Structure 1
Amino acid sequence: MLARLRSLTARWTAAVPVAAVVLLVLTWGRDLPGVLVAVVTLVLAGAVLSAVHHAEVVAHRVGEPFGSLVLAVAVTIIEVALIVTLMADGGDKSSTLARDTVFAAVMITCNGILGLCLLVGSLRHGLAVFNPEGTGAALATVATLATLSLVLPTFTTTKPGPEFSTAQLTFAALASLLLYGLFVATQTMRHRDYFLPITRQGEVITSDDHAEAPTSRTATVSLGLLGLALVGVVGLAKGVSPTIESGVQAAGLPHAVVGVVIALLVLLPETIAALRAARRDRVQTSLNLALGSAMASIGLTIPAVALASLWLSGPLVLGLGATHMVLLALTVVVASLTVVPGRATPLQGGVHLVIFAAYLELAVTP
């Protein structure tokens, strides 16, 4: 019975990514009627679940922290490609697209995903335990990247408005790549043990003994299907965005809500994977996913849009407004206090979720 269930799971998780990409090709750039929007949404949900499955297969094969790194980087690379494509098509109206998308990703990951995982982990196991050395290093990198890329442009004076000059943008792009590369090297080589799950006694968990690791062939196939699933997730999310935009406009909500909804859809695979890890008492893996996604979003998006700005017309607005800067500062301070003890109760998870709720509220009613 168990073998049959695994066979059925393998079949649908292999079929859905292919179906998602085929549907994406057939619907790309077209206005979708209501029935087709429902079909796209259904396939999108299946692609999300399939991406989570294949990410966990790859993670089980390569081990932590490589597994969470694969999912975070894969999602971000596809997301960056989508941002650059939309900027190329959008003209002046897309001048704030990179800023809004990156900030939404930071708030979703550092408050939404992180808060949910701490809440689930602590409620299910009494306390959510993690390694403060690795998590603190990740948080410090995210805070530095966010400040250099999203806060400083508001205060620079070389160009009017919240924009970087060419030299400043070049520095921000190179600094983002350097810091992200240095963090990945630290996470995967020199101090890998800082990013591995730990027990209540502080002992590092190097592997999961409850299941046999998949073969190299299985992991390779899952890696390819993971890529297809993520292309489908991001592309189909873009496909339903006009419907989302129409719904937001009909409800009288600000246009920024569209970006938040799309970011939530794109980050669904990481959210589900992080929650599953938290349920298994692997909160460190959840935090690796959350903070790693925020870091990759900034560290890869800023260099990409800096390069794209060489041929794209129109301004590139990166500086945050006062309200968002307050939310970012509050997130960094609260996250620092959460990370220092290396363990969290439901209270810490609840605090992060309230900050995330405040971000959503201000997106709806700025």
Structure 2
Amino acid sequence: MSATTAGRFSWTVVTPLVAAVVLLFTWGTHPGVVGNVLVAITLFGAVLAGVHHAEVVAHRVGEPFGSLVLAVAVTVIEVALIVTLMVSGGDDTATLARDTVFSAVMITVNGIVGIALLLGALRHTYAVFHPEGTGSALATVISLAGLTLVVPTFTTGASGPVFTGSQLVFAAVASLALYAAFVATQTGRHRDFFLPVDTATTADREAEEHAAPPTDRQTWASVALLLVALVSVVGLAKVESYAIEDGVSSLGLPHAVVGVIIAMTVLLPETLAAVRAALRDRVQISLNLAYGSAMASIGLTIPAIAIASIWLDGPLALGLEPVQLVLLGLSAVVGVLTVVPGRAVPLNGAVHLVLFAAFVFLTVSP
């Protein structure tokens, strides 16, 4: 078999297509034990393939565009899933958007950031990044989370932790404006603040310089396969959610645990890509992915549900509960203290991971 033929039938090409076929035959069904095992295996295969194709695209377009492609692609599909579930109705739709967005924020700013800093610092003594770019990203995340998840808890225009119609429109416009401003900063004149700090050895730099970028044809093929992989990941996560719900119910756990598990699954591509970047001493890319995903999750979800609210019945609770407010506040303070020096030691990563563990534990045992 020739190299070209082998490339066409490599696992990174076949796996997303197989995942799409499995999704086609399982969507809207409740698979049995064997079916759920098949879905789980296919799902994780699609995650790995998605990370590979994201890295191919990133190699072609360069940073920080590569991180932006993966973060936005995953979030757009995730938002589509959230809106579809909300429009279809159900007992938990009132808090679905809030719980999903909050879970995404905690997973990214504590889970992904924590594991990237911990692994990067353990392997390279320090995890080094640009405080200017990372600080502006964190400031945007905190502002978005505050405007959309904290403020509704204290507004008085409507009963409960909800926005009035005009307040929701303002939050949606503000979210889009903040996200657009950040993307313009990240990809414009201050792009250097989001590029990896050059700590590579001469051998590493030479290896990267001699690595030929993919051709246009390979890049577009990877873009298509990345989209197929991400659609499959989100769709198969939804299919698997029935088994997850049954398991959570049988264990007597809160229904919010289902959302956390699904959010973790959907964010697996970013997590794996961030870990691989951290191990290569490219922690800035890991932080770009984490904070970029958090921003995209809020900046795209809130405008989407503002539009979807036209067809939604009942209230849309966005305001966080007291325990969630405390966790978000702690995450913001710790994040600022981590970012300001421009480098982190393993302890910084451990602190973020403890906050993430607290989020998971308090979701399971509120």
TM-score (norm 2): 0.96
| Structure 2 residue 285 is matched with structure 1 residue 285 | yes
1:258 maps to which residue? 258
Task: Give the AA of the match of 1:303.
Answer: P
Counterparts in 2 of 1:364 and 1:288: CA distance versus 1, 3 Å? same
1:102 maps to which residue? 101
2:142 maps to which residue? 143
Alpha-carbon offset, residue 92 of structure 1? 4.4
Alpha-carbon offset, residue 189 of structure 1? 1.2
1:73 maps to which residue? 72
1:337 maps to which residue? 337
Counterparts in 2 of 1:247 and 1:182: CA distance versus 1, 3 Å? same
2:353 maps to which residue? 353
* Number of aligned positions between the proteins: 360
1:37 maps to which residue? 36
1:61 maps to which residue? 60
SS in 2 for 1:115: helix
1:51 maps to which residue? 50
CA distance in 2, matches of 1:272, 1:6: 28
Gapped runs of 5+ residues in structure 1?
A: none
CA distance in 1, matches of 2:79, 2:95: 14
SS in 1 for 2:83: helix
**Contact (CA 8 Å) 2:199, 2:281: kept in 1 or not?**
no
Alpha-carbon offset, residue 120 of structure 1? 0.5
Task: Give the AA of the match of 2:300.
Answer: L
Counterparts of 1:178-257 in structure 2, within 5 Å, are 178-200=177-199, 208-209=208-209, 211-257=211-257
* CA deviation vs aligned residue, 1:83-115 (integer Å, no higher than 9, x gap): 001111233421100000000000000000000
**Contact (CA 8 Å) 2:19, 2:43: kept in 1 or not?**
yes
**Contact (CA 8 Å) 2:179, 2:295: kept in 1 or not?**
yes
**Contact (CA 8 Å) 1:68, 1:288: kept in 2 or not?**
yes
Task: Give the AA of the match of 2:22.
Answer: L
Counterparts in 2 of 1:334 and 1:210: CA distance versus 1, 3 Å? farther
CA distance in 1, matches of 2:29, 2:45: 21
TM-score (norm 1): 0.96
CA distance in 2, matches of 1:153, 1:349: 31
* CA deviation vs aligned residue, 1:266-313 (integer Å, no higher than 9, x gap): 000000000000000000000000000000000000000010001111
Counterparts in 2 of 1:313 and 1:327: CA distance versus 1, 3 Å? same
Alpha-carbon offset, residue 354 of structure 1? 0.4
2:151 maps to which residue? 152
Alpha-carbon offset, residue 314 of structure 1? 1.6
**Contact (CA 8 Å) 2:150, 2:325: kept in 1 or not?**
yes
Counterparts in 2 of 1:5 and 1:110: CA distance versus 1, 3 Å? farther
* CA deviation vs aligned residue, 1:198-247 (integer Å, no higher than 9, x gap): 1249xxx9x94252111111111100100000000000000010100000
Counterparts in 2 of 1:247 and 1:210: CA distance versus 1, 3 Å? farther
2:271 maps to which residue? 271
CA distance in 2, matches of 1:127, 1:30: 48
**Contact (CA 8 Å) 1:17, 1:47: kept in 2 or not?**
yes
Task: Give the AA of the match of 2:66.
Answer: G
Task: Give the AA of the match of 2:230.
Answer: L
**Contact (CA 8 Å) 1:91, 1:313: kept in 2 or not?**
no
CA distance in 1, matches of 2:55, 2:7: 17
Alpha-carbon offset, residue 49 of structure 1? 0.3
SS in 1 for 2:316: coil
Counterparts in 2 of 1:253 and 1:220: CA distance versus 1, 3 Å? same
Identical aligned pairs, as a percentage? 64
**Contact (CA 8 Å) 1:118, 1:345: kept in 2 or not?**
yes
CA distance in 1, matches of 2:4, 2:117: 31
Counterparts of 1:311-322 in structure 2, within 5 Å, are 311-322=311-322
RMSD of aligned alpha carbons = 1.7
* CA deviation vs aligned residue, 1:40-89 (integer Å, no higher than 9, x gap): 11100100000000000000000000000000000000000000011112
